Structure 1
Amino acid sequence: MAPITLVLPFALPVPEFAADLIRVLQAPALAALLSRTAQHRFHPLPPNARALPHELWIADALGLMRGVEPALATGVMRGYGLDPEDGTWFVVNPTHIQIARTHLMMDDLRGLDLREDEGRALFEAALPSIADSGYRLLYGAADTWFLRADAWDDLRTATPDAAVGMNLTDWMPTGDKARAFRKLQNDVQVTWYTHPVNAAREARGRQAINSIWPWGGASLATEQAHKLVAGARRRLGAPPALVTHAVPAWLDALATRRLESPSAFAVQLDGEGGDETVLVCGSVTAPAIAADWDGWLREMTRLETELFAPLLEAVKTGRVKQLRLVLSHRDGALETVTTPMAQRKFWRRPTLEALT
């Protein structure tokens, strides 16, 4: 069987709570996978990165990088059946930005509950302002749009999950065209301020959609160049097959398969073959971002039963010849590799200390 990589965003708890959490977490299979390894390395987040560690890892594995930033827009567009054509495109997420006591903050997109009819209505309302400014906007889904802005090629942007809950002063787009973005953002905000969609959302206890967030700028030319570089580095002709569960819409759009539950992957292990498979399971992300550590523990316990234990058994029996784990938090990612031979290292006591 081809190698399998399991990417678990936010499976590393924040350092200040890690010791207490691993004392409570009951995950013997995960402990064995993390302790009996052939490779073990922690990758700190690069300085000035504007994406999370797991996002950089995935973009790099798929050959969708531009310098040190994820360049995902054109790939995500194809996932929605859209043609990127020429030019520079950005993923655009309609979002809610709130005024905290001393700064602006963006809400987690997962909690916005933006319905299809709402997303379509806000999209149509924003079109005139965007067209008048000389840009083009395409609709992918209620929460995922695409903006063509060729002159913004050098705009440095941040992924939504990197910026959520943070002081947005540090995460707003930067570069020569940052002012042009802020003007466009302001025009859209004014258009939506009294929109009936937001009045209806607030009436049912939901946050108003009051801004847009662009990121992941890419063009077909830069995408092709970086795919060639990534392919040469891996000495492979194709990127790994991407399988997803409980991830943001942009990741689902890049996937070859989407799972309703983690257990579905374990059930289908015997069917995995050919190219390397990367499974991204994001079910602990939302509780970690919200600092809901009880929820984090519940999700990790569920993954122990539905994913870690079946994968450990598959490695031990040789059904999986190599299993790579990529576990991350905001500041870095732990990458380990285990094999059937490594799992025979009985003298290594299974422990979750690697999570600290």
Structure 2
Amino acid sequence: MSRATLLLPAARRLGAPSAEVAVALGRADVASGLDEGRQAQLRRHVRLLPDHWPVAALTRQFDAGDAAGAMWLRADPCRIQPDINGARLLDHGATLDLDAGDVAQLLPALRPLFGDAGMPIDAPVPSRWYLRLAPSTRLPAFTGPDEALGTDLFEHLAAGSEGRRWRSLLTEAQVVLHNHPWNARRAAAGKRPVNSLWFWGGGALPDHVASPHARFHGGDELACALAATAGIDAPLPDSYAAGEGDTLFDLTTMRDLPTLDQAWLRPALAALRSGRIDSLVLDTADGAVFTLHRRQRWRFWRRPRADFQA
């Protein structure tokens, strides 16, 4: 069977579809009430054994190919902004526009701190920094940066006795980065400072990653890492093009609905009508999944949908 699956942003971000897409959504089979969020959406399409979600190990393998045999934790560069009520996470990773020169200046200042703690730090990609941990390391629960963006830092600090060590390391890292002269140079150049780290995504590389999709056109680095580990990665084209087999397109980073509609949704519907694909699945990040088949064209009594809400 030839099926196309499009991973879409949350429905609340998509707004009103074109008339053609609205008609198709109104006639589709809808599954609602599924788990929300990026992790839940990807888990609907990949299976990890053992069943955990080690983002750091997956992206480390994608970035450097050396994730086996250790635990990994992301320690991504970020910007924290103090305010009257505490401090907020405002930027992390790629939004800081870091390059190799920034890494060469900032990372050596942090290496003694984390090296003495038995967890070397490095950055194979300027926006993604890693701590290598012993396989037996027990980690507290950490919040992903996208979930914490714009919120109070103190709501997301690792809790309890297991988190005490990480709270202490974070405080020391903040002091090192705050005092680093390179941040003054970045500020003088109109760039945002790197004044903290964000710990998250800890775990070991899974033994196995599988997906029912024959091809997986990934979007962000996590999707690309999952696809590469499953052995089905492929570059994301600029617009929809039907192919043989079950293909997944990760479009969750797209925020321009007219482009999404014109370059992806309507061409996919055309492929469905012509028989080039047998079914089309639209999976939104907030847990609504629309499944479309050619036979649904006879459901002419159904009203078009005004949006992507289930």
Q: Is the 8 A contact 1:185 1:211 kept in 2?
A: yes
Partner of residue 163 from structure 2, selected from 178, 182, 187: 178
Give 1:335 shift: 1.6
Q: Distance in 2 between matches of 1:64 and 1:98?
A: 36
Q: CA deviation at 1:309?
A: 0.7
Native 8 Å contact 2:187 2:193 kept in 1: yes
- Corresponding residue for residue 244 of structure 1: 218
Aligned partners of 1:252 and 1:120: how far apart in 2? 26
Q: Matched residue of 1:161: which SS?
A: helix
Q: Deviations over 1:48-68 (max 9, x none)?
A: xxxxx122221453234876x
Matched with 1:32 is 23
Q: Secondary structure at the match of 1:126?
A: helix
Question: Is the contact between residue 88 and residue 153 of structure 1 (CA under 8 Å) also seen in structure 2?
Answer: no
Q: Is the counterpart of residue 187 in structure 1 residue 172 in structure 2?
A: yes
The answer on whether the counterparts of 1:95 and 1:213 sit within 8 Å (CA) in structure 2 is yes
Consecutive unaligned residues in structure 1, runs of 5 or more: 14-20, 46-52, 285-295
Q: How does 1:267-346 map to 2 (within 5 A)?
A: 267=241, 269-270=242-243, 272-273=244-245, 276-284=246-254, 296=255, 299-328=256-285, 332-346=286-300
Q: For residue 235 of structure 2, what is the aligned residue in structure 1?
A: 258
Tell me if the contact between 2:5 and 2:247 (Cα under 8 Å) persists in the aligned partners.
yes
Question: Which TM-score applies when normalising by structure 1?
Answer: 0.75
Distance 1:55 1:100, change over 3 A: farther
From 126, 133, 138, give the equivalent of 1:142. 126
| Deviation (angstroms), 1:115 | 2.2
Q: How many Å separate the matches in 2 of 1:33 and 1:107?
A: 38
Change beyond 3 A, Cα 1:118–1:106: same
Deviation at 1:313, TM superposition (A): 0.8
RMSD: 2.7
Cα deviations by residue, 1:261-283 (Å, 9 ceiling, x for unpaired): 3x1xx13x23x43xx43221133
The answer as to 2:62 corresponding to 1:82 is: no
In structure 1, how many angstroms separate the alpha carbons of the residues matched to 2:102 and 2:42? 30
User: 2:27, 2:302 within 8 Å by CA — same for their partners in 1?
Assistant: yes
| Residue 54, structure 1, aligned to residue 38, structure 2 | yes
C-alpha displacement of 1:103: 2.5
Letter in 2 for 1:346: F
The structural deviation recorded for 1:259 is 2.6
CA distance in 2, matches of 1:200, 1:320: 54
In structure 2, the partner of 1:348 is: 302
Partner of 2:230 in structure 1?
A: none
Summarize the alignment of residues 148-167 of structure 1 with structure 2, pairs less than 5 Å apart.
148-150=132-134, 152-167=137-152
Among 159, 172, 192, the alignment partner of 1:207 is 192
For residue 208 of structure 1, what is the amino acid of its counterpart?
A: P
Q: In 2, Cα distance between the equivalents of 1:175 and 1:224?
A: 30
Q: Secondary structure at the match of 1:135?
A: coil
Residues 3-49 of structure 1: CA deviation (Å, up to 9, x unaligned): 32211223423xxxxxxx84xx452243234222133323254xxxx
Paired AA for residue 90 in structure 2: D
Mapped contact 1:29–1:308 kept (Cα < 8 A): no
Alpha-carbon distance, 1:111 to partner:
3.0
The structure-2 alpha-carbon separation of the partners of 1:343 and 1:108, relative to structure 1 and needing over 3 Å to count, comes to farther
**How far apart are 1:204 and its partner, in Å?**
2.1
Instruction: Tell me, yes or no, if the aligned pair for 1:5 and 1:324 is still in contact at 8 Å.
Output: yes
* 1:9/1:153 CA distance change after superposition, 3 Å: farther
SS class of match (2:278): coil
- Structure 2 counterparts to residues 87-166 of structure 1, below 5 A: 87-109=70-92, 110-150=94-134, 152-166=137-151
Name which of structure 1's ranges 78-87 and 206-215 shifts more when overlaid on structure 2: 78-87
Aligned residues between the structures? 303
- Compare the two structures and name the one with the higher helix fraction: 1
CA distance in 1, matches of 2:183, 2:142: 26
Identify the match of residue 70 of structure 1 among 34, 53, 64: 53
Instruction: List aligned pairs for 1:226-245, cutoff 5 A.
Output: 227=209, 241-245=215-219
Q: Deviations over 1:190-230 (max 9, x none)?
A: 2222323311221122221111112111213xx227x5xxx
Render the CA deviation track for 1:278-318: whole Å, top value 9, x for unaligned.
2211334xxxxxxxxxxx5xx01111111111011111222
Q: Is the 8 A contact 1:153 1:217 kept in 2?
A: no
Distance 1:43 1:124 in 2: 44
Distance 1:56 1:305, change over 3 A: same
